[in-house]
């Protein structure tokens, strides 16, 4: 394996872990700023106008527990990401895109509602980390094509 490819693998894993860490900070930000106190009434209000609206509501314990397990699972996948196992490239793109949209949604929501919404403080962090993962994914893909 070429040294450029090995370096790209390490950068990809580090970018993955950075986004996982940013997501953990974001979950803590949302939990500490009563995200569900904003989110659940918003979903219920939308459902009164659009009955088929597919977003669920959550109780705090299961929501926080589920997100904590999700973050832990993503962290555990870091060695698999480093090896470049099948599916980790597309998974990185999907993870990056979802987190980018999540961060942008918090910022756009704050602008729309005219106030700082729960989770917005950490939104720039997950946006930046998602862009770094997308860049590392691109570089890894390119390094893999050059070294073969």
- 34-86 per-position pLDDT tens digit: 999 999 999 999 999 999 999 999 999 999 999 999 999 999 999 999 988 88
What's the pLDDT tens digit per position in 89-107? 999 999 999 999 999 999 9
For 7-132, list the strands marked E by DSSP. none
pLDDT band at 27 (very low <50, low <70, confident <90, very high): very high
Residue 87 carries which DSSP code?
T
Helices 3-32/60-76 angle, 10° precision: 170
* Cα–Cα distance for residue pair 22/112, rounded to 1 Å: 24
Q: Return the number of other C-beta atoms located less than 10 Å from residue 55's C-beta.
A: 12
Domain extent listing, the chain: 3-147
pTM of the model: 0.90
103: Cβ contacts below 8 Å, ≥ 6 apart: 26, 123, 124, 125, 126, 127, 130
């Amino acid at each position: 394996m070429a040294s450029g490819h090995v370096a790209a693998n390490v950068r990809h894993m580090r970018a993955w872990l950075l986004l996982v860490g940013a997501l953990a900070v974001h979950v803590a930000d949302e939990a500490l700023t009563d995200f569900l106190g904003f989110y659940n009434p918003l979903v219920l209000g939308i459902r009164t106008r659009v009955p088929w609206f597919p977003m669920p509501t959550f109780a705090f314990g299961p929501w926080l527990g589920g997100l904590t397990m999700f973050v832990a699972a993503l962290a555990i996948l870091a060695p698999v990401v480093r090896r470049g196992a099948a599916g980790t490239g597309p998974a990185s793109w999907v993870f990056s895109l979802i987190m980018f949209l999540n961060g942008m949604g918090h910022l756009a929501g704050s602008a729309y509602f005219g106030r700082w919404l729960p989770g917005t403080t950490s939104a720039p962090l997950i946006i930046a980390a998602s862009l770094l993962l997308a860049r590392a994914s691109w570089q890894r893909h390119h390094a893999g094509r050059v070294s073969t």
